[in-house]
Structure 1
Amino acid sequence: HGGNVSCQVFQGVEGLLCPGKLCAFASVVPVRTKKRFFVPPPKRDFSDPEKKARAAGLVAPQEYVERPITISCSGGIFDPYIPPEGDGRFSSLTKEGLKQRAQHIRQSAASQLAIRKVKDYDNNFKARDFALKAQEIYIEAHNCLVNFNKEKLHSLVTERCYPDMVRGNRYKTIRWTFTESLEPPRVVHVRCPDMINKGNFYGQVTVRMHTKQTLAIYDRFGRLMYGMEDIPKDVLEYVVMERHLVNPYGMWRMHGKIVPAWAPPKDSIIKTVMVPGPQLKPHEEYEEMNPEVPKPHNA
C-alpha cells in the first residue's frame, strides 16, 4: 500500500515537470514569427517613360511653359527718359544749366502730344499738379513697404514694380523716412504707348524728384547692413508713374525708376561673418592665449 502512494507522488511530480503529459488533450497553436529577410521590389526603370508610354498605347500630354501676363499694366518702360549728365549739380542760371533747359524744351515736343492723349482719358490731368500727386504716392508706397502693408502697396504700385520692391526684404528690417524736398517735383517725360491692340493706351509719366531721405536696413539679427537712420542723404530719382487709360477705374501707380548711367555707385553692404577662433587644447584657456581679434571691414 505504501508503494502505491509513492508511485502516485512520483507521477504528480512528473506531471508538473512535463505539462504535456498532464494535459494529454491540449491543442498545439503554431505561432508565426516575424520575417527576418527583405525581398526588394522589382526594379523600375525611369530612363525613358515617354517611350514606354507610347509602346503601351498611352499618349502623354505635352507640357507648355506659359508665362502669366496681366493687362492692368505694361511690361516695361516705353521710350525711357535719358537724364542729362550732371542733373541736380548745375544751377539753372549757369551755362550748363541753360543748355540742359534748352535740351529739355526740344525733347518736350513729343511729351506735349502724349499729354493731349492722356487728357482725352483723364480730364483732370495737369503736369504741375500731377508731380505733387506722384510724390505723395511715392512716399505712401515706401511707408507701406516699411510697415509690410502688402494689400495697400498693391494699390500704389503696378504688378511689375511690386516684385522689385519686396524682393529680398523678408528677413530684414527697413527704416525709411522722408525728410524734405530739395526741389519741387516736376514732370520731365510723358509717353502714351499702346499694347496688344491698337487703342489700348497706357500712360507713362516720368517725374523728377530731388529729395532728402534717411534709410537704414538691418538683417534678421538686428545688425546694420546699409545706411544710417540719423544721417539724411540727398536723393535724385526719376520715378515712372503709369495708368491704364482705357480702363475707367484705372489709377496712377508707381511703375519703376530710371537709373542714369552716370549715377554714382551705391554704398557697399556691411556683411556680418563669423571669425573662427583659435583651436584650444583641453589644458589651455582662451584668456591665456590672448589672440588678436580682426576688426570688421566692409565687404
Structure 2
Amino acid sequence: MALSMRRTLVSLHRTCQSYKNVEVPLDLHHPVPFYLPVRTKKRYFIPPAVGLKGKKQWDPVAKARAAGIVIKQENMERPINIACTAGIFDPYIPPEGDARLSSLSKDGLKQRTEQLRQSASSQLAIRKIKEHDSTFTTKSFAEQAQEIFIEAHSALTDFNKEKLHSLVTERCYPEMTRGNRYKTIRWRFIESLEPPRVVHARCPDMVTKGNLYGQVTVRMHSKQTLAIYDRFGRLLLGSEEQPKDVLEYLVIERHLMNLYGRWRLHGKIVPSWAPAKDPIIKTVAIPGPEMEEPGQEFDPLNYEVPKPQAVQWYK
C-alpha cells in the first residue's frame, strides 16, 4: 500500500515538472473572432413574427402596460373660453311687424301686452345684473350699447383688430370678420330713427352654478349706409349714397364674475319675418367681337355691345 502511494506521488511530480517547461507562444491567432454577448438595453417591444397577423390578436396597449410603460391617451378635445358664452340663451323673439305697427292699433296693443307678459323673467335677470354691476340702468345701457355697436363697426371698416377684440366677444369676432380679407367695407351711421331701448335680459350661468353672464338685448332702429367692394374695386353690395332704415336686435354680453369685465357685442337676432338681403352684384366679362385675322384692328364705333340676358343672381 505504501509502495503504490509513493509511485503515484512520483508520477504527479514528473507531470508538474513537464508543464513548467512548456512555452506558450504569444503570437497565437484564433481562426474565428471571439465575441462576448453583453446585454446593454432591455427590449420593451418585440415586433410580431411574419405570418401571425391573422392567427393572434396583438394589442400594443396591453403589451406596453405589461412592460410598465404608460401610453398617453389621445382624446379629441377642444379648448373652451369662459370669457363669453357659446351662444344666446333664451333668445328674444321679435314681434312680427315691429317698427311698422302703431301702438294704438289692435295688433300693436297685442304686441305690447305680450311684451309686458314676457318681461317678468327679464326683470329678475336685471336684478341679478345690478347686484354685480351697480351702474347698470336700462335707460343709460341702451345708449351705451348703441355706442358699442358704432365703435365696433367703425373698427371693422378700419381693420383695427385690437380695438375690435375689446368691443366684441370671442364668439362674435369670427362672424364679423369672416370673408372680409380681400374686401373694402364702407359703413356709416347716419342717425337714429327711434331711441334704442332694452327689450330682453337674461342672466345664465356656465360651467358652474355661480359663474354668471349677463345678456341684454337692445332694439335699435337707425339709418345706415353700407357698401362692400371686392379687391378690384368693384361694388358687390349696397351703396355709399343711398341710406337704408335698419331694424336690429343687438345682444350685449358681459362676464359678471370678472371684476375687469366689460359689456361687448355678442351677436344679433334676425327675426324670421325680416326681409331678404340684397343680392350680391357679380361682374361678368362681356364677349368682344371675333377677329378674322390676328392683325385686324377693332373699330369700336361700328360695333354694338350685346346686352346680357336678365339673370337672377343669388348670394
Contiguous gaps of at least 5 residues in structure 2: 1-59
Equivalent-residue separation in structure 1 for 2:130 and 2:83 (angstroms): 19
Question: SS at 2:224's partner residue?
Answer: strand
Alignment of 1:287 onto 2:294: no
Equivalent-residue separation in structure 1 for 2:210 and 2:204 (angstroms): 9
Equivalent-residue separation in structure 1 for 2:230 and 2:141 (angstroms): 36
Deviations 1:193-250 (A, max 9, x none): 0011111000000000000001111111111111110111000000000000011111
User: 1:276 offset after TM fit, Å?
Assistant: 3.9
Alignment of 1:80-229 (within 5 A): 80-229=91-240
Deviations 1:79-128 (A, max 9, x none): 00000000010122222222111111110000000001101100111011
1:40 paired residue number = none
User: 1:67 offset after TM fit, Å?
Assistant: 2.1
The worse-fitting range, judged by mean Cα deviation, of 280-289 and 268-277 is: 280-289
Question: SS at 1:183's partner residue?
Answer: strand
Equivalent-residue separation in structure 1 for 2:152 and 2:306 (angstroms): 43
| Aligned AA (1:246) | M
**Overall identity of the aligned pairs, in %:** 66
Equivalent-residue separation in structure 1 for 2:211 and 2:278 (angstroms): 41
Question: SS at 1:247's partner residue?
Answer: coil
Deviations 1:23-81 (A, max 9, x none): xxxxxxxxxxxxxxxxxxxxxxxxxxxxxxx6xx9999765433232000000000000
Equivalent-residue separation in structure 2 for 1:247 and 1:92 (angstroms): 40
TM-score, scaled relative to structure 1: 0.77
Question: SS at 1:281's partner residue?
Answer: coil
Compare CA radii of gyration and give the structure with the larger one. Answer: 2
Contiguous gaps of at least 5 residues in structure 1: 1-53
C-alpha RMSD of matched pairs (Å): 2.6
1:71 paired residue number = 82
| Aligned AA (1:144) | A
| Aligned AA (1:294) | K
User: 1:291 offset after TM fit, Å?
Assistant: 5.5
